[in-house]
A and B are shown apart, each in its own frame.
Chain A
Amino acid sequence: MLTIFNLHARVGDNEILKGVNLKVRAGEVHAIMGPNGSGKSTLAGVLAGRDVFEVTEGDVLFDGKNLLEMDPEERAREGVFLAFQYPVEIPGVSNTYFLKAAVNAIRKHRGLEELDAMDFMNLMKEKLKILHIDEDLLKRPVNEGFSGGEKKRNEIFQMAVLEPRLCILDETDSGLDIDALRTVADGVNALRSPDRAFLVITHYQRLLNYIVPDKVHVLFDGRIVKSGGKELALELESKGYGWIEEELAHAARA
């Protein structure tokens, strides 16, 4: 579904991604871990189409299409979704209005009819119920004045509504209490299906107890330096990243 080949990206003169390679198949869950500043959010941003990141080399194919050539909205309509590490507050735009615009833009792209007010509200209510989120959310302006946990829940709610095919979660679990963490896990698990894939960026094993990854990758200084199964996450949690650094240094000497 997603193939990242030798991806290099920079901000200004600062090269952040230095040749990322990754292959994600439909139905899989991949976890990406790595120390602060290693480029995890940059990778997520490049996939979503943030233009501060300049791609200098490499390719990204999504269902065989060149993702890097698409505008952010086109990527979203094709089924890429990014749950932001730091969701943006948009005062003055209600969640309802925002989501209706999003749902209908995506439906239109898929050749479906726009939802009328009634069907749209039913869809909202159904999704809120699955995630145990209060209906108040709909009336509130997008993320404005939300606590960190509320913002993350709102990201998951949007994901549930938009039903993307590739879900990228950028530290959606960071700073969450256990209830909010369950919302995130429920949201992801409700969406899991053979034709959908997840890229879960996280620092912790906690979320991975609920969403068991097929593969775990370590992003280090702009490269994926190690990949393994779900046990790699446990190892990283208990031992930190020091040993990986040592391994790298050792490999460099050899």
Chain B
Amino acid sequence: MTGVIDIKETYFSRFSELERALGEREGSPLHRLRQLAIERFAELGFPTTDDEEWRFTNVAPLAQVSFRLPAANEPPAVELKQLLPSWLQAAAGPRLVFVNGRMIPTWSNTDGLPPGVVVTSLGQRLATGAVPAPLGRYADFDVHPFVALNTAFFREGAVVALPKGCVLTDPIHLVWISAAAGEPIMTHPRHLILAGVQTQARIVESYFGPEGAVYFTNAVTEVVLEESAIVEHTKVQQESTEAFHLAAVQVHQDRDSRFTSHAIALGGGLVRNDINVILDAPGTEATLNGLYVGTGRQLIDNHTRIDHARPHGASHELYKGILDGQARGVFNGKIYVHPGAQKTDAKQTNKTLLLSDEAQINSKPQLEIYADDVKCTHGATIGQVAEDMLFYLRTRGIGQDEARRLLTFAFANEVLERLSVEPLRAWLEARFLQSPTAGRETHR
């Protein structure tokens, strides 16, 4: 299992396995798409640190494991109940639960949705031969090798579609669990969210796996907001600290739409999150909140890109990180203001709290502005727990460790308090107050 594998050979042979299993018609649009994607992946290969976009994130460890595709309905190696954290058990709303790459109907529930709303398994859709039209239209696999890999390999995920005017009060939960026995598996979750005109919805993606397990999650989510749609997308990642988690979220916004992302990264050994938002019509607004928490030898890389393509767009971005042990963080925030995108208002902030001497962060704002009447600001801070605050708390009788936890929580809370899914927010708050880097729920 160790030693460098031949990437091309391995992934091509897995691809053939998949083709055999799916039996998709040669020349069908979906098959064509997969073919193009695997070919593109073969050309791109895994990125190296020479690639500017991957400078601080060495994915070489990924090439040391030969991941297999999970078998059909491979049972979880751990009891599901143990893998679902309490917040998810308490959360209201429809849900699709996926285990080892397959949707589990008995754990899923889409009852009571308003008429016309689609919340369904992509796998079931593909089985009927009906490919949701915009799938693959937004997430570009030309430059991003892992999007190419996902596009070649996806077979499950969620399709969510909201007809005009539909307002959902409860969030929709998309739960992805990797817990297979035997050799390490890879899964390629693919979610498609289509928010029609004047719709309103919240989507919560969550990722879990038993601590210590080695596996590879390579997710792609496409979110399309039509006119005046309001979408809040929350992603909570609590993978095993031995797992690889790569995920790209591609968002396309039409006129007057509002998109909010909360990206909470707690687990994973090697983690890379890409969020690309295109404000492709006037009057749009995007808010990107992020919290990354790492300890041990975790590497968590957040790359965001906001394209202000039209005038009167606003974006607000706040990413905060807490790094302990030898954990490393990367934040790269690109804001690209296209010619003609006048009156753009973009604000980006990245703050990292380093709890140990060996923890590290590489923070890089990247502003490219090709319009003249815009307001763009960015700021980055890196620091330790403030000694004067610590002292103040201690003079009130609060012990040193508790004071540290409290201040770390306070740091995280600026992001946490924005979460609208209350069971999740409350659970995270309790976790932080117990231990600053207790991102993952400990499994017995």
Contacts and interface: CB of A to CB of B under 8 A. Distances in A.
Chains A and B belong together in one complex: yes
Contacts of B389: 88, 90
B400 A73 contact: yes
Nearest to A90: B389
Contacts of B394: 49, 71-73, 76
B407 A84 contact: no
Interface stretch (A91-99, A122-130, A237-245): A91-99
Interface string A53-82: 000000000000000000111011100011
Given A72-B391, A72-B395, A93 B410 contact: yes
Contact of B406 (A84, A87, A93, A109): A93
Given A72-B391, A87-B392, A90-B392, A102 B398 contact: yes
Interface of B: 388-389, 391-400, 402-403, 406-407, 409-411, 413-414
A182 B388 CA distance: 28
A76 B414 contact: no
Contacts of A48: 395
A152 to B, nearest CB: 14
Which of B395, B402, B410 is packed against the most chain A CB atoms within 10 Å? B395
Given A72-B394, A102-B397, A105-B399, A97 B414 contact: no
Given A88-B388, A92-B410, A162-B397, 14 more contacts: A51-B391, A71-B394, A72-B391, A73-B400, A76-B395, A76-B397, A82-B395, A88-B391, A88-B392, A90-B407, A91-B410, A98-B398, A101-B398, A102-B398
A131 interface: no
A101 B395 CA distance: 12
Contacts of A99: 396
Nearest to A104: B397
Contacts of A77: 397
Contacts of A102: 393, 396-398
B410 A162 contact: no
A90 B408 CA distance: 11
B396 A76 contact: yes
20 contacts: A49-B391, A50-B391, A71-B394, A73-B395, A73-B398, A76-B396, A77-B397, A87-B392, A88-B389, A90-B392, A92-B409, A92-B410, A92-B411, A92-B414, A93-B407, A97-B406, A98-B398, A102-B397, A105-B402, A158-B396
A49 B225 CA distance: 56
The secondary-structure label for the interface of chain B is helix
A31 interface: no
A166 interface: no
A201 interface: no
Nearest to A80: B395
Nearest to A105: B397
Contacts of B406: 93, 97-98, 101
Contact of B393 (A71, A90, A92, A141): A90
A138 B241 CA distance: 38
A160 interface: no
A221 B393 CA distance: 30
A87 B414 CA distance: 21
A46 interface: no
Interface of A: 48-51, 71-73, 75-77, 81-82, 84, 87-88, 90-93, 97-99, 101-102, 105-106, 109, 141, 158, 162
A91 B396 CA distance: 17
B381 to A, nearest CB: 13
Given A71-B394, A88-B392, A101 B402 contact: yes
A13 B387 CA distance: 21
A73 B410 contact: no
A55 B400 CA distance: 21
Contacts of B400: 71, 73
A102 B393 CA distance: 8
A102 B392 CA distance: 11
B395 A49 contact: yes
B231 to A, nearest CB: 27
Contacts of B397: 73, 76-77, 102, 105-106, 109, 162
A224 B266 CA distance: 55
B392 A91 contact: no
B165 to A, nearest CB: 37
B396 A98 contact: yes
Give me the 6 closest cross-chain CB pairs, A-B, nearest first. A92-B410, A76-B397, A102-B396, A72-B394, A88-B392, A105-B397
Contacts of B409: 92-93
A240 B420 CA distance: 59
Nearest to A48: B395
Contacts of B398: 73, 98, 101-102, 105
Nearest to B394: A72
B60 to A, nearest CB: 38
Contacts of B414: 91-92
A160 to B, nearest CB: 13
A162 B400 CA distance: 18
Contacts of A87: 392
A92 B396 contact: no
A76 B395 CA distance: 6
A1 to B, nearest CB: 18
A71 to B, nearest CB: 7
Given A92-B409, A92-B413, A92-B414, A98 B395 contact: no
Given A84-B392, A90-B389, A73 B407 contact: no
Contacts of B410: 90-93, 141
A82 B397 CA distance: 11
Contacts of A90: 389, 392-393, 407, 410
A33 B30 CA distance: 83
Contacts of B411: 92
Contacts of A106: 397
B392 A162 contact: no
A93 B394 CA distance: 14
Nearest to B403: A73
A93 B398 CA distance: 13
Contacts of A141: 410
A170 to B, nearest CB: 11
A144 to B, nearest CB: 10
A49 B400 CA distance: 13
